[in-house]
Amino acid sequence: MATDTVEARRLQRETHHEADVVVVGAGIFGCAIAYALAQQGRSVLLLERWMSEPDRIVGELLQPGGIQALKRLGLGHCVDGIDSITCRGYNVIYQGRPVLIPYPTMDERGGVPHQWSGAGKEGKRETGKGFHHGRFVTRLREACLGHPNITVRETEAVRAVRGEHSDHVLGVETRTTDPATRKKTPDYFFGQLTIVADGYDSKFRKEVTADKPVARSKFFALELRDARLPAPGYGHVIIGDAYPILLYQIGTHETRVLFDVPHNIPEAAPAAGGVKNYLANHAIPALPESVRPSALAALEAEKLRSMPNSWLPPTRQVPRGMVVLGDATNMRHPLTGAGMTVAFNDAALLADLLHPDRTPSLADDGAVQAALRTLYWRRKNYTAILNVLAQALYALFAASDPQLHALRMGCFEYFRRGITDGPCGMLGGIIHRPVVLAYHFFSVAFLGIWMHFLETVTSGPGPLGILKAPLAVIDAVLILAKACVVFLPLIWREGFR
Ligand SMILES: Cc1cc2nc3c(=O)[nH]c(=O)nc-3n(C[C@H](O)[C@H](O)[C@H](O)COP(=O)(O)OP(=O)(O)OC[C@H]3O[C@@H](n4cnc5c(N)ncnc54)[C@H](O)[C@@H]3O)c2cc1C
C-alpha cells in the first residue's frame, strides 16, 4: 500500500476515530487479531482500558500449538527477550509417583506419528514456553504499537453504538481518563466491524449470549523463588493427595504454583482457618519435598491471589457489525493451560476467513456472518480437544467418587505404560483431530475398568477374591456409566453443537 494511503488512514483513525476494524481489549486475543488484520492491510483501532503492564496470574504457559499459531500470526518473536522458559511437556505426580509425558516427536510434515499409541524416541519435538504474563502481553502490545496500520488508544469501552434505524453496530462509546485530572470523558470509535475481546469478566458478552460462565473452583496463586522442581523444564501436575496443583517455571528464578480450591470445601472454610489453612496443611504437604520450603516461604511472604476457573462453551454469533471472541465467549478450566493456544489459533483462523481476498468488505454482513459460521465449526478441530480435555481432566483429577477414582487410576496407568504422544500432543494443541481424543478417551476408560476389575478380584484372601467377580462386573458397568454421564454431554456440547 502506498505510503500516502497508509498516512491518510492513520490520520483518519487519529482525527476521526474511524477504521476498518475496531478491536476492544489489547490482551491475548485482541492484540493477535488486531495485528493479523493489520498485516493484511486493514486499518485497525485497538482500544485498551489499561496500557500499563498487566500483573496477573493467568496466561503464563503457552503450549507448542499456541507457539505455532503465534508464528503464523507473525508474532513469534514476542516470546523472546522476556526471560521465557522452554517447557518440554508434563511431569504428572499421582500420589507421590511421577510419570513424565513429554510433548510428542513430530515428522517432517508436522504430524505426530505416534498419536494413536506409544511414544516416539527420536525426532524433533515442539516445545512450549513459560513466562510472566505481563511481559508477554507488553511484547504483543509493542508489536501493535509499532504497526503502521494500527492505532492504539487507552480508553474503556462502555457500550456498542448502533445506527439510528437499524441494530447494526457502528462502533463503541468509551470513557477516556485524563491522566492529570483523572476525569473521564466520553469518546467514540467507529469501524465497519467491531471485534470485542474484553476477557473473562466481559461487559459485552450479554450482547451475543445469555450464557454465563460456570465456576466450581478457584486457582490460588503463589510465585516461588528458586524452587527446585523434580523435573526442570517440565510443567508439573500434582494429583491424588490434594486438589490439583500446577507448577511451572515462568522465569529463571520464578516458578508459578496454582492451587485448585473448590468452592465450599470444609478444609478451606473460615472456621478452619480459610484457604491459607487448606494450603498450609493439605496442599503444600502434597507438593514434592524439594518444592515445599519455597512454597511455605511464599505463603508467609506473599498476598494470596486468586482467579475463578470457568467453563463457558462457545456461542454461535450472527454478527451485525460486532463479534465477541476470546475468553469473553469461550472458556475452559485452566488446568491444562489451553486458553492462549485457543485464542491464537482462533485469531489466525479468523484472519484467514476475513482476508480481503475472501471478504473484501467488512461492512458486508452476509460475508462476515459466513466467515463466523465457518469459524464456529472449523475451530472445533482444536477447541473440541482442548476444551473437553481441560474439563474432563479436571473432573478426573479433582474426583472424590469411586468411579471417577477408577478412571483416574486408568489415566495414570495409561501414561505409565508409555502411551504419551497422543495425549500430550492433544494437551499441547498440536493434534487437531477430535477422533484421536475419542479413541484415547475410551482406551483410558476401558483400562480404568480393567484395572479396577483386577484390583477387586485379587484383593481377597488367596483365590477367594474371584468370588468378587460379579461385584467387579457391576462396578465396571457403574464406571462406564459414570464416564458417559460426566463426559458425553461435554463432548456433545463442545464437539457437535
Ligand atoms: C487462573 C488462570 C490461569 C491461566 N493460565 C493459563 C496458561 O497458563 N496458559 C494459557 O494458555 N491460558 C491460561 N489461562 C487462560 C488465559 O489467560 C485466557 O484464555 C486468555 O488470557 C484469554 O485472552 P483474552 O484476550 O480473551 O482475554 P484477556 O487476556 O483477559 O484480555 C482482555 C483485555 O481486555 C481489556 N478490557 C477489558 N474490558 C475492557 C473494556 N471495557 N474496554 C477496553 N479494554 C478492556 C483488559 O484490560 C485486557 O487487556 C488461565 C486462566 C486462568 C483463570
Tell which atom from ligand 1 comes closest to the C-alpha of 32.
25
The per-residue pLDDT for 92 is: 97
Banded model confidence at residue 486, pLDDT cuts 50, 70, 90:
confident
Residue 158, in any domain of the structure: yes
Summarize pLDDT for 116-159 with one digit per residue, the tens.
999 999 889 999 999 999 999 999 999 999 999 999 999 999 99
Q: Who wins on pLDDT, 465 or 62?
A: 62
Ligand 1 site residues, Cβ closer than 6 angstroms:
24-30, 47-50, 57-62, 156-157, 197-199, 203, 219, 307, 326-328, 334, 337-341, 343
H/E stretch holding 376: helix 365-378
Please check the confidence at residue 317 and state whether its pLDDT lies above 90: yes
Residues 187 and 259 in one domain: no
Residues 298 and 446 in one domain: no
453: its cell numbers: 476389575
State in Å: Cα 359 to ligand 1 middle: 28
Residues 391 and 433 in one domain: yes
When divided into structural domains, the chain yields a total of 3
State in Å: Cα 199 to ligand 1 middle: 5
Residues 391 and 487 in one domain: yes
The C-alpha torsion from 418 through 423 and 424 to 425, rounded to 10°, is: 120
Residues 39 and 141 in one domain: yes
Residues 419 and 274 in one domain: no
Nearest CA to ligand 1 atom 3: 58
The parent domain of residue 192 ranges over 1-53+133-209+313-382
Nearest CA to ligand 1 atom 15: 339
E-strand stretches of 411-496: none
The DSSP code for 52 is S
Can you give the CATH number for the domain in which 293 is found?
Answer: 3.30.70
State in Å: Cα 230 to ligand 1 middle: 30
Domain end, chosen from 295, 311, 327, is at 311
The answer to whether the CB of 32 falls within 8 A of the CB of 308 is no
Summarize pLDDT for 33-82 with one digit per residue, the tens.
999 999 999 999 999 999 999 999 999 999 999 999 999 999 999 999 99
Residue 361, in any domain of the structure: yes
Residues 489 and 366 in one domain: no
Q: What is the best residue among 327, 342, 391 to mutate for testing ligand 1's pocket, by most ligand atoms within 8 Å of CB?
A: 327
Residues 329 and 248 in one domain: no
| CA triple 144-145-148, angle to 5 deg | 85
Nearest CA to ligand 1 atom 41: 157
Picking from 229, 260, 277, 281, the residue whose alpha carbon sits closest to that of residue 100 is 229
Residue 122, in any domain of the structure: no
Tell which atom from ligand 1 comes closest to the C-alpha of 341.
11
Average pLDDT over every residue of 230-236: 98
Residue 68, in any domain of the structure: no
Residue 255: how many CB atoms within 10 A of its CB? 25
Averaged confidence pLDDT in the chain: 95
State in Å: Cα 258 to ligand 1 middle: 16
Please check the confidence at residue 248 and state whether its pLDDT lies above 90: yes
Domain end, chosen from 284, 311, 338, is at 311
Banded model confidence at residue 264, pLDDT cuts 50, 70, 90:
very high
Please check the confidence at residue 467 and state whether its pLDDT lies above 90: no
Residue 227: CB partners within 8 Å, gap ≥ 6? 247, 249, 255, 257, 290, 291, 294, 295
Average pLDDT over every residue of 366-395: 96
Picking from 422, 424, 415, the residue whose alpha carbon sits closest to that of residue 447 is 415
Query: Following DSSP, what letter does each residue of 310-346 receive, concatenated?
Result: EEB-------SSEEE-GGGT-B--GGG--HHHHHHHH
Nearest CA to ligand 1 atom 51: 58
Q: Which residues pair with 225 in a beta bridge?
A: 254
Picking from 357, 363, 365, 490, the residue whose alpha carbon sits closest to that of residue 434 is 490
Tell which atom from ligand 1 comes closest to the C-alpha of 130.
8
Nearest CA to ligand 1 atom 19: 339
Q: What is the best residue among 31, 49, 156, 237 to mutate for testing ligand 1's pocket, by most ligand atoms within 8 Å of CB?
A: 49
Residues 297 and 321 in one domain: no
Please check the confidence at residue 303 and state whether its pLDDT lies above 80: yes
Residues 270 and 203 in one domain: no
Q: Which residues pair with 177 in a beta bridge?
A: 184
Residues 256 and 300 in one domain: yes
The per-residue pLDDT for 173 is: 98
Domain end, chosen from 289, 311, 333, is at 311
Residues 436 and 468 in one domain: yes
177: its cell numbers: 481518563
Tell which atom from ligand 1 comes closest to the C-alpha of 133.
17
Can you give the CATH number for the domain in which 374 is found?
Answer: 3.50.50.60
